[in-house]
Structure 1
Amino acid sequence: MTRFKKRLLLTLFAAVGSFVLATLLLALAGLRDDIGKTDVALVLGSKVEPSGKPSARLQARLDETVKLYMAGWFPWVIASGGLGKEGYDEAVVMRDYLAAHGVPQDRILLDSQGNTTFESAQNTLQILREKRLKSVFVISQYFHIPRSRLALKRSGIEEIRSASPGYFELRDLYSAPRELLGYFSYLLRSFDKK
């Protein structure tokens, strides 16, 4: 093997190793819950099944939100999601699920324009300003927490807490590495603090 090929191979192994290590660090950061009192929770949307019920992943987020709400960590919940390809408004499905499981409907704020984490963060900032609130408790999958926190911080929200449900699926093997790319794209993205 030539010296050039050895260097190329070493560089490739180093790049792959760095990517895997960074993905693991990101996942570990998301697994570490940061529990504390806040003004509002932001639960981020995910797939709604063709039947109109939350997917298992979304239900896990909603169950975690109910648990934390009942424990008194926040008095308000923002259900943030968009219109999924199945034809359902994720935020409405989330609100209905939360209300059916004990969160008073008048304590649930809807963000039906939360099609992306970026949009959810920007919309949350507007809701906080309208309601004169300051702190947010974000709830999503563990691998999504670091980017969610980054989006909220870059939008201008300073006090952020977070938690993820104890829900894992095979899809995480794809989602966690993809999330690393999303995290770095948010580091480079311009955020409007309006």
Structure 2
Amino acid sequence: MRKHPNLEYIIVLGAHVEGTRLTLALLERTRRALQYLEENPDTKAVLSGGKGEGEAITEAQAMCNYLTEHGITRDRLILEEKSTSTTENLRFSLALIGLDHSVGVVTNNFHVFRGTAIGRKCGCKEIYPIPSRYRSWRLLIYIPREILAIIKDKIMGNM
């Protein structure tokens, strides 16, 4: 796996929160973000994700809580709390920081291709995948769903 150290920003894509608890997919993304931020102390993170059904707080706030509880200072974290899709995650996050930065997209391994491709389509030239692992039987659902999402986003012009 290629490493991309010292990026100016990472964008951590949201996933469902159960009440205030990170689901496995979001926990793995947030753990990967924590690892990257610990290894790259000058990098800032955009935590991207609004509040959906069954969520007591935004996905961004849930990630922020985890990261600050694990030693990341709040001034390194930017919350994007309006998005409800991968395309909105990237569009809104890039609008907050601008397009002229080196950016990593942190998401689960099965999702990182689409996330990076959408970020590139949004106009970010220097964007890199930062995959987190995801091990669950749910991959049997998520991988076919991701393939359909790639086809849909290609048709819709999002990537």
TM-score (norm 2): 0.90
- Secondary structure, in 3 states, of the residue corresponding to 2:132? coil
Deviation at 1:74, TM superposition (A): 5.4
1:114–1:123: 8 Å Cα contact kept in structure 2?
Answer: yes
Deviation at 1:46, TM superposition (A): 1.0
The structure with the greater share of residues assigned to helix is 1
Matches within 5 A, 1:134-173: 134-173=101-140
Q: 1:33 to 1:112 in 2, by over 3 A?
A: farther
Distance 1:34 1:150 in 2: 18
Counterpart of 1:65?
33
Flag structure 1 segments of 5+ consecutive residues without an equivalent: 1-31
Counterpart of 2:97?
128
For the aligned residue pairs, the C-alpha RMSD in angstroms reads: 1.8
1:14-52 CA deviation, whole Å, 9 max, x = no partner? xxxxxxxxxxxxxxxxxx5553331101111112123x1
1:36–1:73: 8 Å Cα contact kept in structure 2?
Answer: no
Indicate yes or no: 2:18 matched with 1:49.
yes
- Secondary structure, in 3 states, of the residue corresponding to 1:122? helix
TM-score (norm 1): 0.75
1:33–1:163: 8 Å Cα contact kept in structure 2?
Answer: no
Distance 1:190 1:56 in 2: 30
Q: 2:9 is matched with which residue: 31, 36, 40?
A: 40
Distance 1:179 1:73 in 2: 32
Counterpart of 1:117?
86
Counterpart of 1:175?
142
Flag structure 2 segments of 5+ consecutive residues without an equivalent: none
Aligned residues: 157
- Secondary structure, in 3 states, of the residue corresponding to 1:143? coil
Identity %: 25
2:11–2:105: 8 Å Cα contact kept in structure 1?
Answer: yes
